[in-house]
């Protein structure tokens, strides 16, 4: 199989590599396009915990929207805790400020007993809407995100999948 | 390449092997290959990949907030380049497998196959020096030059091309069985051109008749 790859003309080899590169770059640019459209650094997230049950289960895929910054009480937002890079999906239960003043939010998981002040960084007792929040949830697909949970819990699966994908694209023509 | 074994049931393998052999054969006949079409595709394609790579690097180093504006520009540029690439492959390249010239005579060959049908279709555009370009379609089953166990056999393939494409036949007279073709009265490009321009039907018609007559006399 690699023999047939080596036998290609340089131009054909370049075209073959281009095919593979285009698959990757198109996937990446579609993601970035969605980011630009929704104004969110991560427009699609997967629910990792059961803290929002029964609204959202582990493995649900959420679509975020980050235009129109006036978040209201009752909206479900995704935020990053300062210093940690784990997105958390929780509901807004209090809001302070807003309008011309900077908007601050307090969140709580539907399935949690207490609000999120414990989860926030040490010197923080509320979220800064413009800095911490990635977006508000506008739609979801149940369960399909479970694949990514499996991939992050069993890292070897990720490696295996990447190798398989790369091999199949490079070794096949068309 | 031609020596390697392929699956004779895979239409993609049949077509790719034949495409490669066709280009090799014509290069062997000293047709000077013109790679402009492929080069343009590579240039557009790699330009868009570079844009994506730069966006990735900037995002990785500086983060989303700092790169927002430029990312929007890059996304639009990438979409435009990809549109151009699609246009180029579908409307300009159209499955072109060989562009080339020999002694001022240009030929351009595009190949295609239909799903689940083991036939090789070629569209050959032949433009001699001065005369207008003529386009014709030829086709042959892959079984003509593949053995049952998937080996490519060059001889019958080259004979088919040399016999059915005038420009290749001129370059490879050994493989062009012209007498046989004349006997079968397969329409060559000259005859086609006569049929298209109604004005000079009679004059050139008699001329070509005379030619074939001379040839059969020679053989007999």
pLDDT of amino acid B210 = 41
pLDDT digits (tens, 9 = 90+) for B116-135: 999 999 999 988 766 678 89
Q: How far away is chain A from the Cα of B94, in angstroms, using its nearest Cα?
A: 15
pLDDT surpasses 50 at A30: yes
* Pairing assessment for the beta strands A127-128 and B96-102 based on DSSP bridges: unpaired
Tell me what ipTM this predicted complex has.
0.79
> What was the pLDDT predicted at B130?
62
Highest-pLDDT range among A3-7, A139-143, A164-168, B173-177: A139-143
Residue among A11, A33, A174 minimizing CB distance to B75: A33
The pLDDT of A138-150, averaged and rounded, is 89
> Which chain B residues touch A26 with a CB distance below 8 Å?
52, 82
How would residue B3 be classed by pLDDT, with cut points 50, 70 and 90? low
Q: Is the pLDDT of residue A48 over 60?
A: yes
B63 contact residues in A (CB cutoff 8 A): 41
Q: Is residue A73 predicted with pLDDT exceeding 80?
A: yes
User: Domain segments of chain B: what residues?
Assistant: 102-219
Tokens linked to B53: 């790579």
| Strand segments (E) across A71-161 | 76-80, 87-98, 101-108, 127-128, 133-141
For residues B11-23, give the mean pLDDT: 93
The rounded distance, in Å, linking the Cα atoms of B11 and A48 is: 45
What is the Cα–Cα distance from B196 to B182, expressed in whole angstroms? 20
Q: What is the DSSP letter of B136?
A: E
List, for residues B50-96, the tens digit of each pLDDT value: 999 999 999 999 988 899 999 999 999 999 999 999 999 999 999 99
| Chain A residues within an 8 Å CB radius of B37 | none
Distance, CA of B49 to CA of A152 (rounded, Å): 28
Catalytic residues of A: 51, 90, 116
Greatest Cα pair distance in chain B: 86
Distance CA B149, CA A156 (A): 39
What predicted TM-score, i.e. pTM, was given to this entire model?
0.77
CATH of domain A44-143: 2.10.109
CATH 2.10.109, chain A: domain bounds: 44-143
CB contact (8 A) between residue B68 and residue A36: yes
Q: Give A32-37's long-range contacts (Cβ < 8 A, gap of 24+).
A: A32/B55, A32/B59, A32/B71, A32/B74, A32/B75, A33/B75, A33/B79, A35/B64, A35/B71, A36/B68, A36/B71, A36/B72, A36/B75
């Amino acid at each position: 199989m690699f023999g047939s790859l080596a036998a290609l003309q340089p131009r054909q080899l370049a075209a073959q590599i281009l095919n593979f590169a285009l698959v990757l770059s198109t996937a990446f640019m579609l993601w970035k396009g969605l980011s630009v459209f929704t104004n969110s650094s991560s427009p699609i997230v997967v629910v990792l915990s059961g803290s929002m049950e029964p609204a959202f289960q582990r493995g649900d895929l959420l679509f975020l929207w980050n235009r129109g910054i006036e978040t209201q009480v009752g909206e479900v937002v995704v935020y990053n805790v300062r210093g940690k890079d784990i997105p958390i999906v929780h509901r807004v239960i209090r809001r302070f400020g807003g309008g011309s003043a900077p908007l601050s939010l307090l969140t709580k998981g539907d399935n949690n007993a207490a609000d999120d002040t414990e989860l926030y960084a040490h010197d923080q007792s509320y979220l800064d809407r413009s800095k911490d929040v990635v977006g508000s949830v506008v739609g979801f697909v149940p369960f399909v995100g479970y694949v990514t949970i499996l991939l992050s819990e069993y890292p070897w699966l990720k490696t295996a999948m990447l190798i398989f994908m790369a091999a199949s694209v490079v070794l096949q023509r068309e | 390449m031609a020596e390697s074994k392929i699956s004779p049931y895979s239409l993609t393998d049949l077509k790719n092997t034949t495409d490669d052999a066709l280009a090799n054969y014509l290069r062997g006949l000293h047709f000077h290959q013109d790679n402009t079409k492929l080069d343009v595709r590579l240039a557009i394609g790699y330009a868009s990949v570079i844009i994506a790579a730069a966006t990735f690097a900037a995002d990785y180093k500086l983060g989303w907030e700092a790169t927002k504006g430029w990312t929007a520009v890059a996304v639009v540029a990438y979409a435009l380049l990809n549109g151009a690439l699609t246009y180029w492959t579908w409307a300009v390249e159209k499955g072109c497998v060989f562009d080339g010239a020999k002694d001022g005579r240009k030929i351009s060959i595009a190949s295609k196959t239909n799903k689940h049908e083991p036939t090789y279709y070629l569209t050959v555009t032949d433009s001699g020096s001065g005369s207008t370009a003529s386009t014709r379609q030829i086709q042959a089953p892959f079984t003509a030059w593949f053995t049952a166990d998937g080996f490519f056999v060059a001889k019958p393939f080259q004979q088919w091309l040399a016999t059915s494409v005038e420009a290749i036949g001129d370059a490879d007279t050994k493989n062009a069985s012209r007498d046989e073709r004349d006997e079968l009265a397969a329409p060559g490009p000259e005859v086609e051109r006569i049929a298209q321009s109604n004005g000079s039907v009679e004059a050139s018609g008699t001329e070509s008749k005379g030619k074939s007559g001379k040839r059969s006399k020679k053989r007999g």
